[in-house]
Structure 1
Amino acid sequence: MTGSVGETEQTVPIMSNDDVVRARQLVRTLAQQAGLSLVDQTKLVTAASELARNTLVYGGGGAMHCGTVRRDGRKGVHAVFEDSGPGIPDIHLALTDGWTSGGGLGLGLSGARRLVDDFALESAAGAGTKVSVTKWRR
C-alpha cells in the first residue's frame, strides 16, 4: 500500500451508475483539498471513474474507500476499489492496452495505471478484485 488513508477516509458503495458519479465527486473534492493541480485532479478523477465503472460492470458492485494520505512530507489522495466479483484470471493480459473482456476500448485498467502515481491490483479468478491508486501533489 502507498500509505495509510488518513482521517478523511470515506466509503462509497458502488452498486449503481449514481454511485459511480458519487465516487467521482468524492475523489474530485479530496483532490482539491489535497492541493493537486487541475491537471492532476483530472487525471485522478478519470482513473477513479474508470475503476468505479469496472467495479460496477465487471465486479457486480463493491465499494470505494478514499481519503487523503501523507508520506515523506507529501500529500495525496489514495483510493481503493474492491469487489467480490469473478476476479481477473490473467492480470498481465488485463493490463495490456487494447485488451477487453467486454465491449469497451480496453483502456480502463491500463489507462488508469498511467494516470496515477501509484497503482496496485490484486485479483484472482473467483476471488474478486482490489485496485489501489494514489496521486501525489507535486
Structure 2
Amino acid sequence: MEFQSCVKIINEWDIVAARQLGRNVAKELGFGSVDQARITTAISELARNIYLYAGQGKVCIEKVYEGNKAGLKIIATDEGPGIQDIRKVMEDGYTTSGGLGAGLPGVKRLMDEFDIDSVPGKGTDIKATKWLR
C-alpha cells in the first residue's frame, strides 16, 4: 500500500506544516526520536529552499517499502529557476542565501538516499529516503 501526503509550500507556515507531517509519518513508521529529528531537519531545509528560491512548490512524504525494509521518502518539487550547478550546491559551506550552507549536503548526510534532478528554468526535484534500522 502506497501512502503519500503532500504540503504545498507557499509561505513560511507551510514549512512548519511539512515538518509536522514528516514527524507524524516518521513516528507512525516507528522511527526513534533521533531519526525523527533528522527527517524533520531535512524536510525543513528542503521546504525552506523551495520557499526562498522557487517561491512555491510542494513537499511530499511517502511511506516506502523494499523487501522487508520500511522507510520514509521526502519528495521536494518546484518549478522555480532550477539549479545551475548541482556539484557546486552539493559542496559543504556553499551558500547563496548567507545561511549556514548546511543545505543540500546536510540533507544528504541526514538521509540514507539522496537524489537531485534540476533543470535550469524548469525547476528542481529532490528525493531523500531514510530507512528504518
- Superposition TM-score, scaled by structure 1 size: 0.93
Of Structure 1 and Structure 2, which has the larger fraction of its residues in strand? 2
Q: Any idea what SS the aligned residue of 1:9 has?
A: strand
Unaligned runs of 5+ in 2: none
Q: How far did 1:128 drift?
A: 0.6
The answer to whether 1:38 aligns with 2:44 is: no
Instruction: Output the CA distance in 2 between the equivalents of 1:87 and 1:136.
Output: 28
* Aligned mate of 1:63, from 33, 40, 58: 58
Distance in 2, matches of 1:7 and 1:18, equals: 27
| Unpaired stretches in structure 1, ≥5 consecutive residues | 1-5
Aligned-residue identity in percent: 43
The structure with higher relative contact order (CA 8 Å, sep 6+) is 1
Provide the TM-score with structure 2 as the length reference: 0.96
Aligned pairs (5 A) from 1:36-115:
36-115=31-110
User: Counterpart of 1:9?
Assistant: 4
Query: Equivalents in 2 of 1:11, 1:48: separation in Å?
Result: 12
Aligned residues: 133
Q: Which residue of 2 aligns with 1:23?
A: 18
Q: CA RMSD in A?
A: 1.0
Q: Distance in 1 between matches of 2:101 and 2:119?
A: 19
4+ residue runs over 4 A deviation: none
Does residue 130 of the first structure (1) align with residue 130 of the second (2)? no
